[in-house]
Amino acid sequence: MPIKYPEVMSLKTEGVPYAWSDREVMLYALGIGMGEDPLNGKELLFVNEGYINPKPLKVVPTFASVCTWGANPGPIDLNRVMVVDAERDISFHKPLPVTAKVTADSSVVGVYDKGKEKGAVIQRQTVVKDAASGEKLVTIRSSTFARGDGGFGGPTEGQPEPHQVPTRTPDLSVDIPIRPNQALIYRLSGDRNPLHSDPEFASRAGFKMPILHGMCTYGLTCRAVLQTYADYDPTAFRRHAVRFSSPVFPGETITVDMWKDGNVVSFEAHIKARNVTVVKNGRTELA
Tell me which residues are annotated as active site: 191, 196
Nearest-angstrom CA–CA distance, 82 and 101: 34
- First CA to last CA distance, the chain: 45
- In the sheet with 237-244, reading across from the earlier edge strand, the strands are 12-20, 100-115, 119-130, 136-146, 83-92, 237-244, 276-286, 264-271, 253-261, 172-177
Cβ neighbour number for residue 244 with a 10 Å cutoff:
22
Compute the CA torsion angle 243, 248, 252, 253 (nearest 10 deg): 0
